Structure 1
Amino acid sequence: MNKNLPETNTSEEVDLGQLFTLIGSLFTKLFNFIGSIFTKLFYLFVALVFFIKKNILILIGAGVIGLGFGIFKEKTKTPVYSSNAVIKQNYDTGESLFNLLNYYNDLIMDKDFQSLSEALNITIEEARNMVFFKMESVLNNNQKLKVYDEFKKEIDSTLADYIDFERFLDNSYDYDFEYQRLTVSSTQKNLLKKVLPEIIKNIESIEFFKNEQKKDLDELKYQEEVIMESLRESDSLQKVYHKVLEKLNENPNSQTSILIDNTGDKNSTKEYELFSDDIKLRRELVRIKREKDEINKIVEVISSQQDEGILTNSKELFKYNLGYKSFYSVLLLMLTFLVLIGLRFLKYLDQFKEKI
């Protein structure tokens, strides 16, 4: 048995040596792979630099032409004025409002100014001046996070753990959020003043929202009536306790006492308990009054620029608003770069023609 022990140790040492060799080989391959990626990225960067250097005059020329075209557009384009209003949706009107604005935009694209003038209660000439309507949430990500926290409190805890913030945003439309910014662009400065009330009127005229508002107001009115009746009964009871206390004061030797929960505390009377309940009920009345005021309007205007629109001299590119000069300069520069890259790629493919 003693003769076999050295053989076992030698076998274990060989196995460990092979294992360490295998691990070292894997790490070497991994580092070589990562190094090859960085090397290729560096070569790509160098090739891109030389490509730009070779075509620098063409790219500069494209940028200058784009700049000149942007200046020309600024001088010749009919000025467009944008006005906006921040609204609060007291009901889930977001989708209906979004579709309504898209309908107006479709009428503008189809040049159906007659239908647009009738829908917005403006003249045909004013309808011809309309450019587009836009709706977007005014909430930033931090404010949306607060909405998400409130949403989690309202749903089942198991489901709340499944829905994270990113999933919540992916499954929410921008128009679902309570506060929205409506933008009206036109070639006339003061059209928002005429158009905004009509947009809200068209939304509030939808029968579904009218019925929902009526049901809510009726429910709050019923709650108010019940509370008022409770207050009247409480007032009557307090008067009874007043009379009892007056009789007790007239006859100090009386064995009668008015106590709460039989605690023996003569300073804590039923009258005080009723008074505390009255305070709670009156607070509830204040809450109901506040809620009635909030749903008194289906869509509520928070703020608006109703006097004159702001001159718009910008276009959107990759979610950035750029002036006409910058927009067309960058756009033409990018298009020229892509065309040059495309031609270079086709030239590279020509090298394989003979091999095919």
Structure 2
Amino acid sequence: MSKELPQPQQSEEVDLGQLFKLIGNAFDRLFKVIGGVFTKIFGLFIGVLSHFFKRKIWYASVVIIGFAVGFFMDSTSDKTYGANMFIETNFNSARQVYENIQEFHQLAKKDKDFVELSKRLNITEEEAKTLKGFYIQPDADENFIVEKYSGFYKKLDSISRLEMDYERFKQSLSSYDFRIHKIGVATTNKKIYKSIEEAFVKEISRNTYLEEIVEVNLENLNKKDDALLVQIQKTDSLVKEYLSIRINESEKEDLTGSGTNLYMGNAESGSLIMDESVIIEKRLDLEAQRRMINKDKVEQKNVINVIANFPTNGYDISKWSDKKKFLIPIILFVLTFSVFMIVGLGQYLENKGKN
């Protein structure tokens, strides 16, 4: 006995038809809205083109006039030049350097105290008037940050390591945490950099406390170097004595248990003369320490180290937006467009009022 499948009711067919009709109407309205938007945008675009085409002589005239005026102003005004110096700070002196740079910038850019600038930099007042600003920023080397984070991470406990990730550590760094910094000077005299360099370096690192730290540090390095030299001399004497004993022992008759015993350090009492390689390694280690001290003397003899000096001549640092031949035509073009818009709006409102 076969079962008959249930047939859909007529009311269900009507509901489905109405549903599809509603969906179709919704899509139709959506496409009409989208089409209307594109039509409005196209109409606005045509209107703008029509506006410029009808008044092309006006706009072309103001652009040409603005370019000519701007070109004349650029040719008669002083150019701004810039150059950079790279320094390495010692003994946590970055804060002092930043403060001194900020002071120089205040004198040149805001106060325009050229008398004080000429005195501090050992130049004439006319040369000081060409200085337009002093700037400094850290030379943020990614390798330095990674190395610094690695050392910092090792000192943390297990809980702190979960909280302090690399990105958070990187954001927590300030300009003072970096050792290498870039100093920029803006001026209208591109040949002034070598004239101010020596006095400028002294001024930005000027601090009595830091200068005393440098003196004490060099004194300690010299004392350590002298102590190492004494140790080397004693080691050389010991080597000579060792060789003398070695020669005497070789000349004696080879008898078991006879000879002079020389014990050094942790050498076993059962052995006769200590292996000379130990003395040689000790001397090489002392010499390596002296070489490190010589390097430290060079790197730490000043509050700051100049890694890269100012170049002989500065270079043009002006941007296109600083060029009057570009800026003035844009300004005149915008002003002309604004005037036409205001006039057109006034006419439109007047016509509306009459109607």
- Scaled to the shorter chain, the TM-score interval is 0.5 to 0.7
Distance 1:310 1:76, change over 3 A: same
The residue that corresponds to 2:194 in the other structure is 193
The answer for the alignment partner of 1:15 in structure 2 is: none
Shift of 1:285: 0.8
Contact 2:96 2:205 in 1 (8 A): no
1:301 and 2:306 matched: yes
Q: 1:47 to 1:284 in 2, by over 3 A?
A: farther
Tell me the CA shift for residue 161 of structure 1: 5.3
Deviations 1:191-233 (A, max 9, x none): 1112221121113331122122123223322322222222222
| Correspondence for 2:226 | 225
TM-score, normalisation: structure 2:
0.66
Letter of the structure 1 residue corresponding to residue 313 of structure 2: E
Gaps of 5+ in 1: 1-38, 316-320, 344-356
Residue 157 (structure 2) pairs with residue 155 (structure 1): no
The structure with more radius of gyration: 2
Structure 2 CA distance for partners of 1:239 and 1:209, relative to 1, 3 Å? same
Unaligned runs of 5+ residues in structure 2 are 1-32, 343-355
Distance across 1 between alignment mates of 2:66 and 2:37 = 28
Change in CA separation of 1:331 and 1:281 when aligned onto 2, cut-off 3 Å: farther
Q: Which residue of 2 aligns with 1:328?
A: 327
Maintained 8 Å contact 1:137/1:179:
yes
What are the within-5 Å matches in structure 2 for residues 1-356 of structure 1?
55=48, 57=52, 71-108=71-108, 109-139=110-140, 144-155=141-152, 157=154, 158=156, 159=160, 162-174=163-175, 176-251=177-252, 252-253=254-255, 255=257, 256=259, 261-262=267-268, 269-312=274-317, 314-315=318-319, 324=323, 328=327
CA shift for structure 1 position 75: 2.7
Identity %: 21
Which residue in 2 is equivalent to 1:17? none
Shift of 1:117: 1.5
Q: Which moved more, 1:302-311 or 1:327-336?
A: 327-336
Give the TM-score normalised by the residue count of structure 1: 0.66
Other structure's SS at 1:308 match: coil
| Aligned twin of 1:9 | none
> Does the C-alpha gap of structure 1 residues 134 and 233 become closer, same or farther in structure 2, counting only changes over 3 Å?
same
Paired letter, 1:311: D
- How far apart in 2 are the matches of 1:66 and 1:284? 69
SS for the counterpart of 1:307 is: coil
User: Residue 295 of structure 1 aligns to which amino acid in structure 2?
Assistant: Q
Query: Which has the larger displacement, 92-101 or 286-295?
Result: 92-101
Give the total of aligned pairs.
294
SS in 2 for 1:132: strand
Counterpart Cα distance in 2 of 1:270 and 1:161: 51
| Letter of the structure 2 residue corresponding to residue 172 of structure 1 | L
* In 2, Cα distance between equivalents of 1:265 and 1:44: 101
Structure 2: distance between partners of 1:309 and 1:297 = 26
What SS does the aligned partner of 1:155 have?
helix
Any conservation in 2 of the 1:89–1:300 contact (CA below 8 Å)? yes
Write the letter of the residue equivalent to 2:200.
Answer: I
Task: Give the secondary-structure state (helix, strand or coil) at the position aligned to 1:79.
Answer: coil
- Are residues 248 and 130 of structure 1, via their aligned partners in 2, closer, same or farther at CA, if it must alter by over 3 Å? same
1:294, CA displacement in angstroms? 0.9
Distance 2:271 2:69 in 1: 90
CA distance in structure 1 between the partners assigned to 2:135 and 2:194 by the alignment: 16
Partner of 1:350: none
Letter of the structure 2 residue corresponding to residue 78 of structure 1: D
CA RMSD of aligned residues (A): 4.3
Q: Is the 8 A contact 1:63 1:332 kept in 2?
A: no
Q: Provide the C-alpha distance between the structure 2 equivalents of 1:152 and 1:333, rounded to a whole number of angstroms.
A: 53
